[in-house]
Amino acid sequence: MQQPQDPAGVLEGVYVANVTPFRDDERFSIDVDAYLGHVRWLAEQGVTGVIPFGTNGEGPSVTTREKTAVLDALVPASGSLHVVPTVAEGNLPDTLDLLAYLDDQPVDAVMVLPPYFFRPVSPEGLRLFYDRVLAATRHPVVLYHIPKYAVPLPTELVTGLPVWGVKDSGGEAGYAAAVHAAGKGVLVGTEDDLPGRLMTAHGSISALANIVPEHVVALYGHVREGRSAKAAALSAHLLQVRAMTKQYAAPGVLKKVAEQRHGHPMGTVRPPLTPVPPSFDAAAAAARAVAGPTR
């Protein structure tokens, strides 16, 4: 089993829950060139890293073979950008298979979702799962707490395992603070009250950073430097942008707006998600997203 990691020494800053461009073909295949183009643009905007195949990356809709093909191209091209792949395979054997592949890759950490079909699951069952995860990887492990879609992870589980910490996409009062107080790392996975949540976190994993990475990076800097008024103003703007992305399936909106910003074709979403309708004005949405208080 791996040894506990120093949270501040591993992951810190703004990470992007980067979207996955799918072609509108028979199998909705992944456009790897567009994927890499989007990530290059994100790196140019100053983000710390990317989190491939999470929720907004439609990870549960992507096969393990597809993920390894993308990562084979992404990791060698990442340079100084951190790459923290999401492992969200829905069962233990596929989880261990993907971790075995990642053990040969120079990624910065792995983010592991528990199997998400059977609910409720006992803390003992979750511990049995993560014990095997930890024994199977040399990388720091970030647990993925997203109770809206998956099995929730009790704070006692996070703090009692030799993991780096947790991505908190639940937002429950006191959750991140309890994990942080126990010496574990926290990455905020929601834009709600981001300035407040960053006070008990090492960084954020942001969906909005797909379309306004410069704003999310600036907000992180304002919080870290104590510029509370600027942080509050920029956070209010990001909440408006977030509301805009919720009109339709969020990954689809993020792709259309990102395409407007950098010009790489971002394709569509994979069923069962549905694409944004042709009436969606991506250019106007991009303009609204970029507009905001002076950073």
SS3 content of the chain, % helix, strand, coil (to 5): 45, 10, 45
Tokens at residue 88, please?
Answer: 């969200």
Residue ranges per domain, the chain? 12-290
* Strand ranges across the sheet with 86-87: 82-83, 49-50, 13-16, 203-206, 185-188, 165-168, 141-145, 110-112, 86-87
Could you tell me if 250 and 223 are in contact, meaning their C-beta atoms sit under 8 angstroms apart? no
d(CA 6, CA 243): 35
Superfamily of domain 12-290: Aldolase class I (3.20.20.70)
Could you tell me where the DSSP H helices lie in 78-169? 92-102, 123-135, 155-160
Q: What is the DSSP letter of 84?
A: -
The answer to pTM > 0.85 is: yes
pLDDT in tens, the chain (295 residues): 454 566 656 799 999 999 999 999 999 999 999 999 999 999 999 999 999 999 999 999 999 999 999 999 999 999 999 999 999 999 999 999 999 999 999 999 999 999 999 989 999 999 999 999 999 999 999 999 999 999 999 999 999 999 999 999 998 989 999 999 999 999 999 887 788 889 889 999 999 999 999 999 999 999 999 999 999 999 999 999 999 998 888 899 999 999 999 999 999 999 999 999 999 999 999 999 999 786 6
Could you tell me if 254 and 275 are in contact, meaning their C-beta atoms sit under 8 angstroms apart? no
To 5 degrees, how large is the angle CA 21–CA 49–CA 273? 30
